[in-house]
Amino acid sequence: MARGGTTSYAIRRMRANKKADAEQWNERRRACAHALLNRPWITKEEDPEIFYWIRDQYTELRDWFAEYTGFLLVLTRTMAKLDKAPLAAEPWMGFPEFRDPRDYALFTYALWYLESKTELDQFVLTDIVEQVSEQLTSAGLAMDWENYQHRLSMVRALKKLRQLGVLRHIDGEESDWAHDTQKNVLYESSPAARYVLRHFPREIRHYGQLDEFNEQLVYPETVDGELRKRRHRVYRRLLLEPAVADREWHKDDLYYVVTQRRAIMDNMQFMFGMEGSRYREGLYFFYPELTAECGLFPTAAGISDLVLLFAGELRRRLNDSDWYVSEQGTVELTRTDVEALLYSLRQRFSEYWSKEHREMGLSELAEALTSHMIDWRLGSWVAYEERGERFAVSAVVSRWTADYSIDEEEQGTV
């Protein structure tokens, strides 16, 4: 009996260890998937743990992204990168540090310059400026480096490359060069320089329309090819956009979402730990806990708090107001309605708001609120010939409410 008991205990222990190992493997896979989806790349030098986890699970990660998104997973001896692109570019997808289209142009030309450099090659800022200028001139374009704003554009482009780890800074500061072109900055190249720009399945000259640049693969003109293309469109939108309502899907894509929702939810939970729920207005995914890898709503910014307060106020007044509610559950408000709701909230809660929001006029505050909601797909402006412009608040907003309360323990210690 003792031997049997010992054997039974050993088996149970073995099973528990296998279960623990499987759970750890799943957690690591999800951590890798989040990192690949939300970072430009992962380098062995800066994050060796995640890098080696990706290398250990490379085949599984590569196959999942290839099967459901069409994204290519690139793995080298020094870095891992998921080559990804959205179906449609949104304003919030750009670099917040950039202020002018010229910044993006110089960012790209600086990458062109770096293509000729090998790892640890050293060069100075004025070398970049000189060769970029020559390339621009050959293309019939020109930069006026006497213009301070043009120099600032180059500074922002180079600082972004530094932040991404593409340029390694050795000595000097770009801002000094912006004020005095006799100053200089010493850099060296990193292995990441060749992996910043996306891989295109065809030569760029074959693309005639801007929206064609979202192409990840060239699909065969067959039934299977069309089904694969549709699956990739759906998963790319679900992974790279905050939310997608039913009314925002193409008809064929919506059919796939509705008929395959259980498989979609299972796949997203398996790879990312995301919880999916089907509502009247659409299929939405949520993270059950906070993650440092991606931006989540509500954000840490005070404007997200105002959106939650706004949602609660909207719910409280909905039955007593004559606002139009669509079949999808969206609530349509005029600019005056939005400002009136914010005025009511300001009267009650402004003491808890930031100084910036307290001092904003109602029109300016409404613009900040609606812009934040648009960025997170929680609302949109709709123009009607007869009724004018309306702000359509997504039905998903009704899932939230918020209020201010004082913690009893804190109240007792004040």
156: domain CATH number? Answer: 1.10.10
pLDDT digits (tens, 9 = 90+) for 323-345: 888 877 889 999 999 999 999 99
Structure tokens at 203: 């030569």
* 291 in a structural domain: no
Bridge partners (DSSP) of residue 342 are none
pLDDT digits (tens, 9 = 90+) for 217-246: 889 999 999 999 999 999 999 999 888 989
Asked if residue 108 and residue 72 are part of one domain, the reply reads no
- Pairing type for strands 122-124 and 72-75 reads unpaired
Task: Say yes or no to pLDDT of 373 above 80.
Answer: yes
Asked if residue 117 and residue 25 are part of one domain, the reply reads no
The distance of Cα 324 from the centroid of its chain, to the nearest Å, equals 32
How many domains, in total, are found in the chain?
4
Tell me which of 227, 261, 286 is where a domain ends: 286
Asked if residue 385 and residue 328 are part of one domain, the reply reads yes
Asked if residue 228 and residue 168 are part of one domain, the reply reads no
Asked if residue 339 and residue 370 are part of one domain, the reply reads yes
pLDDT digits (tens, 9 = 90+) for 264-293: 999 999 999 999 988 878 898 888 776 667
pLDDT digits (tens, 9 = 90+) for 118-169: 887 899 999 999 999 999 998 888 889 999 999 999 999 999 999 998 999 9
| Structural domain span for residue 50 | 2-83
Asked if residue 176 and residue 103 are part of one domain, the reply reads yes
pLDDT digits (tens, 9 = 90+) for 9-60: 555 555 555 656 788 999 999 999 999 999 999 999 899 999 999 999 999 9
Higher pLDDT, 195 or 346: 346
Asked if residue 271 and residue 351 are part of one domain, the reply reads no
List all residues 6 or more positions away from 275 whose beta carbon is below 8 Å from its beta carbon: 269, 285, 286, 287, 288
* 127 in a structural domain: yes
Asked if residue 7 and residue 96 are part of one domain, the reply reads no
Task: Say yes or no to pLDDT of 64 above 50.
Answer: yes
pLDDT for position 11 = 55
Tell me which of 26, 57, 83 is where a domain ends: 83
pLDDT for position 6 = 58
Asked if residue 395 and residue 308 are part of one domain, the reply reads yes
Asked if residue 252 and residue 168 are part of one domain, the reply reads no
Task: Say yes or no to pLDDT of 250 above 90.
Answer: yes
Asked if residue 65 and residue 19 are part of one domain, the reply reads yes
* 412 in a structural domain: no
* 175 in a structural domain: yes
pLDDT for position 172 = 92
* 53 in a structural domain: yes
* 109 in a structural domain: yes
pLDDT digits (tens, 9 = 90+) for 305-329: 999 999 989 988 888 888 888 877 8
Tell me which of 83, 104, 128 is where a domain ends: 83
Task: Say yes or no to pLDDT of 409 above 50.
Answer: no
Sign of the C-alpha dihedral computed for residues 85, 91, 96 and 102 taken in this order: positive
* 204 in a structural domain: no
Distance (Å, whole) CA 314 – CA 392: 12
Q: How confident is the model at residue 263 (pLDDT cuts 50, 70, 90)?
A: very high
* 206 in a structural domain: no
Asked if residue 60 and residue 8 are part of one domain, the reply reads yes
CB 215 within 8 A of CB 200: yes
pLDDT for position 410 = 41
Task: Say yes or no to pLDDT of 62 above 50.
Answer: yes
pLDDT for position 261 = 95
pLDDT digits (tens, 9 = 90+) for 78-131: 999 999 989 888 777 888 899 999 999 999 999 999 988 888 789 999 999 999
Helix locations, 243-354, DSSP H: 251-259, 261-272, 302-317, 335-349
The distance of Cα 184 from the centroid of its chain, to the nearest Å, equals 34
